[in-house]
Structure 1
Amino acid sequence: MKINIRRSRRAAAAVALGSVLALTATACGDDGSGTAGDKGNEGSGKGEITFWDNNGGVRTDVWKEIIKDFEKKYPDIKVNYVGVPATSIQSKYDTSISGGGLPDVGGVGAAMLAEVAAQKALEPLDSRIEKSTLNGKLNQGMLDSVRNAGGGDKLYSVPTSANNGTLWYRTDLFKSAGLAEPSSWTNFYKAADKLTDKGDNKFGYTIRGGEGSIAQALDASYGQSGITEFWNGDKTTVNDPKNVAALEKYVKLYKKDTPSADVNNDFTKMVAQWDSGTIGMLSHNLGSYQDHVKALGTGKFRGIPNPTLDDGTRVQVSNPVDGLGLFKASKHKAAAWKFIEFAASHESNSKWNESAGAIPSNIEAAKDSWIQQAEPTKLAAEALNGGKTKIVQLPYYLPDWNNISKSDNEPNFQKVLLGKMSAKDFLNTLAEQLNAAQADWKKNG
């Protein structure tokens, strides 16, 4: 199996890294950190640290505000900001883990946490949190999520935010067409069809066919099938016949009720297309809220939780919690930890999440007034805590999850959209890889 070959190579690399000395930092970040095999040191609590933003370009402005606030409070610490696009952050970490040049602090979402942690690149943070001002101030569910994603024993990331699948829809277009809110899958498909007028370049929906397409496709599959567990024993439910039928229905929207360009669209292109055009609905997450406000104002759209089944039950896949990791190779761990602690504090965490429209990890920030005013975030939080929402927990703990759900299968999903591969074959291939990864994880865990 391809997946086992890759795991074997990674395991061998991890052993080799244990004896490698820290290398000179690469040109993309002269931060003084080395490889995963370098244990680093605490440093003086002063000096320069390097921070890699794992969503560079999208959240750059708010991070620079937080860094400015931090440097004002800690004038003896300078933070070198490096914005890394979300599409390349994992490969950048992998390259630096083996070749040197790791940052002191980096954004590490739950989806990639298992792979980075498996390579012994991250510092366990349990004792640091217990001794810090963050103790008792972080959402327990988010802490559990990142702990599980890292393998279940230690905490390798301080959670900063939770996102949620959101269906954005144009209230003005729905009103003109006399359509009900797309709060159910029945209403969703009805609206997608009625709002489409290809001759006038109007479409009911935009589907994600490029980077990041797999999670959205799984959301649509489980959301319609009503299946609430990702595993049935040691076998995944991904290719259950109900999920196959759901995905078949979903992908039929492509080119019928969506633009043909969707096959290559990642979230930035998809969001820009929805904001600038006359497309009725968009599935993304809370992170694009401010983009929609800038493009459309607040009166032409709403963001609601993913559609429900006809009985009112909502099933959605888990969205990875984002967080900050302290890299073991850092020569400035004391200073780096101060930055993490500051970024996850009430004021900074609230500022970041208000900018992103996401759910804060800091329980004090989660009570701030802006959440009540940001309807999509408020509705998302209520849905997550509601009794009729069932969460399908994705296996972020698998070191190969990010590869399986991205590079291994995104090209296959494009084939499904283009009619070159069936939904059944696509999900069977995905299931085969997931079952092998689960077996490998249990064997080596």
Structure 2
Amino acid sequence: MLRKKQTTSVMVLIMIIGLVLTGCKGEDSLPQKSDPKEDEKVKIVFWDDNTGPQRTPIWEELINRFEKENPTIDVEYVGLPKDSAKARIDAAIASGETPDVASVYASWLPEFSMRDALLPLDSYYSKWSEKDKINSGAIEFNKRIVSNQKLYGIPYTQNLDILWIRPDWFIEANLKTPETWDEFFGSVETLTDKSNNRYGFTIRGGAGGSFQLQRMMYAYSGIETYFKDGKSTINDPKHVEFLKRYFALYQNFTPISDITNDYRAMIAGFDSGTIAMVQHNIGSYAEHREALNPGQFQAIPLPRSVKGHYVAEDGNTIGISIFKGTDHPEEAWKFLTFINSKEAQSFWNQSVGQIPTNSDVLDEDWIKTSPHIQTAQKVYNDPNTILFEPPFYLPEYRTILNTIVDTGTQAVLSGKMTVEVFLDKWAEAMEDAQRQYDELVVNPR
């Protein structure tokens, strides 16, 4: 079944590369600029990748501010559920019904650009007076991971995976917050009290869990590269060692419902007072702030690796991208630059609890007085921190995580697959995807 699926993927990839190499719909044929009359309004459609009670009102407020500043532009907001947003955009690309502009993860850019779905922003960006204020490292990362090294997204926020903990439970148990993986596993066991419906940890076994799992694995092993001499490091012995210990927590020190946990279920468990620690990112700050008292939640770094240094995923950003099918590129660009302005980035990131990419915002007081932001900056600013880069450039990267890794995680948790087989299947799929990419993109015949 895997070989059949990969053969189909090769054919699809060949078609995509053919479009790219023949210059189909290239930069010379950008959408015509709209030229509305003064009394006409232009409507652009914006898709949010993570709709919900915390974030939707933030976007609605920003759109309202933008429309007041730009009375000739209407922005239609469409919210997509976090765990199905990528699939919804995939379907829109396939049907030719994309929005004008959307919030897009950096990891989506390689695939979307290879499908010729996004508008290159290089010429717009080069003329933008505020461009030097946006994190240059994030901009260069977004260009580096796509096959033609063009710019397809401007990041308005940066994230970091951390542990959210119940500091009050640690105090009750006379435990210090974990700094090593041994202390992490020990804390999970100590803080579990099933008689009072308390568990030391929760595992995201459902949709999207693969991304967090991968970050945990490399944070533990300290391995710096995804591939070495053509072989994936996914099934490295250190990852086997970690996952055997990690998955053994299931049902013993985590809830039985973990096997189907998606993002919202996992966060709800922590916020309802059932879970002592949860691995997520600083972006769930708003949910915790709403559900818990200040002394009931705290962000701490993932423990240092067995090699002694922090490991963080590079390119953990979300940006605004413009789709190539837009009839209003100038208006879409105006909206993009507004979202990346000091005012908008400050409002969005302070509300959500993430790191702005506009340097003007980094000097604001709320940055200096937000403990979770300080925790993230501690990791990013540590000179020994390793920024680990997954192969976002592989067209099949997200598909492998969604189909092979998410389902494989559930198979291991249910006892139907061993950790070794799981990691071997994962590594094999990534290696096959890398070989296909090398043959069709890096060294085409």
TM-score (norm 1): 0.92
Contact kept, 8 Å, 1:133 with 1:341, in 2: the verdict is no
Q: Is residue 86 of structure 2 the alignment partner of residue 90 of structure 1? A: yes
Q: Is residue 260 of structure 2 the alignment partner of residue 264 of structure 1? A: yes
Describe the SS at the equivalent of 2:74: strand
CA separation of 1:86 and 1:278: change in aligned 2, threshold 3 A: closer
- Of 238, 250, 255, the residue aligned with 2:246 is 250
- Of 178, 181, 185, the residue aligned with 2:181 is 185
Describe the SS at the equivalent of 1:362: coil
Instruction: Measure, in 1, the Cα distance between the counterparts of 2:310 and 2:350.
Output: 26
Shift of 1:267: 1.1
Q: Larger % of helix: which?
A: 2
Shift of 1:10: 4.8
Instruction: Measure, in 2, the Cα distance between the counterparts of 1:83 and 1:7.
Output: 32
Shift of 1:292: 0.8
Deviations 1:82-132, CA, capped at 9 Å, x for gaps: 001122222222222221221110111012211111100101111101111
Shift of 1:40: 3.1
- Of 30, 44, 47, the residue aligned with 1:49 is 44
User: Which residue in 2 is equivalent to 1:6?
Assistant: 9
Q: Is residue 362 of structure 2 the alignment partner of residue 369 of structure 1? A: no
Instruction: Measure, in 2, the Cα distance between the counterparts of 1:319 and 1:166.
Output: 16
CA separation of 1:95 and 1:17: change in aligned 2, threshold 3 A: farther
Structure 1 gaps, min length 5: 23-35
Shift of 1:7: 3.7
Between 330-339 and 50-59, the greater mean CA deviation after superposition: 50-59
Contact kept, 8 Å, 2:162 with 2:300, in 1: the verdict is yes
Deviations 1:199-232, CA, capped at 9 Å, x for gaps: 2211111111111111221222222222222111
Between 395-404 and 338-347, the greater mean CA deviation after superposition: 395-404
Between 348-357 and 222-231, the greater mean CA deviation after superposition: 222-231
User: Which residue in 2 is equivalent to 1:394?
Assistant: 390
Between 421-430 and 85-94, the greater mean CA deviation after superposition: 85-94
Describe the SS at the equivalent of 1:299: helix
User: Which residue in 2 is equivalent to 1:224?
Assistant: 220
Contact kept, 8 Å, 2:153 with 2:320, in 1: the verdict is yes
Q: Is residue 127 of structure 2 the alignment partner of residue 136 of structure 1? A: no
Instruction: Measure, in 2, the Cα distance between the counterparts of 1:392 and 1:100.
Output: 34
CA separation of 1:147 and 1:240: change in aligned 2, threshold 3 A: same
Shift of 1:297: 1.9
One-letter amino acid of the counterpart of residue 12, structure 1? M
CA separation of 1:287 and 1:160: change in aligned 2, threshold 3 A: same
Deviations 1:48-104, CA, capped at 9 Å, x for gaps: 100011112252111111101100100000000000112222222222222122111
One-letter amino acid of the counterpart of residue 287, structure 1? G
1:121-132 correspondence to structure 2 within 5 Å = 121-132=117-128
One-letter amino acid of the counterpart of residue 49, structure 2? N
CA separation of 1:59 and 1:150: change in aligned 2, threshold 3 A: farther
Shift of 1:233: 2.3
Shift of 1:163: 0.5
CA separation of 1:16 and 1:316: change in aligned 2, threshold 3 A: closer
Instruction: Measure, in 1, the Cα distance between the counterparts of 2:92 and 2:207.
Output: 22
1:69-80 correspondence to structure 2 within 5 Å = 69-80=65-76
Structure 2 gaps, min length 5: none
Contact kept, 8 Å, 1:146 with 1:321, in 2: the verdict is no
User: Which residue in 1 is equivalent to 2:233?
Assistant: 237
Describe the SS at the equivalent of 1:145: helix
CA separation of 1:130 and 1:18: change in aligned 2, threshold 3 A: closer
| Count of residue pairs the alignment pairs up | 431
- Identical pairs, percent: 36
Instruction: Measure, in 1, the Cα distance between the counterparts of 2:297 and 2:390.
Output: 29
Instruction: Measure, in 2, the Cα distance between the counterparts of 1:76 and 1:327.
Output: 21
Shift of 1:188: 0.7
Contact kept, 8 Å, 1:220 with 1:250, in 2: the verdict is no
- Of 24, 31, 46, the residue aligned with 1:40 is 31
Instruction: Measure, in 2, the Cα distance between the counterparts of 1:206 and 1:348.
Output: 34
Instruction: Measure, in 2, the Cα distance between the counterparts of 1:420 and 1:264.
Output: 15
Instruction: Measure, in 2, the Cα distance between the counterparts of 1:313 and 1:102.
Output: 42
CA separation of 1:18 and 1:307: change in aligned 2, threshold 3 A: closer
User: Which residue in 2 is equivalent to 1:30?
Assistant: none
One-letter amino acid of the counterpart of residue 5, structure 1? T
C-alpha RMSD of the superposition: 2.3
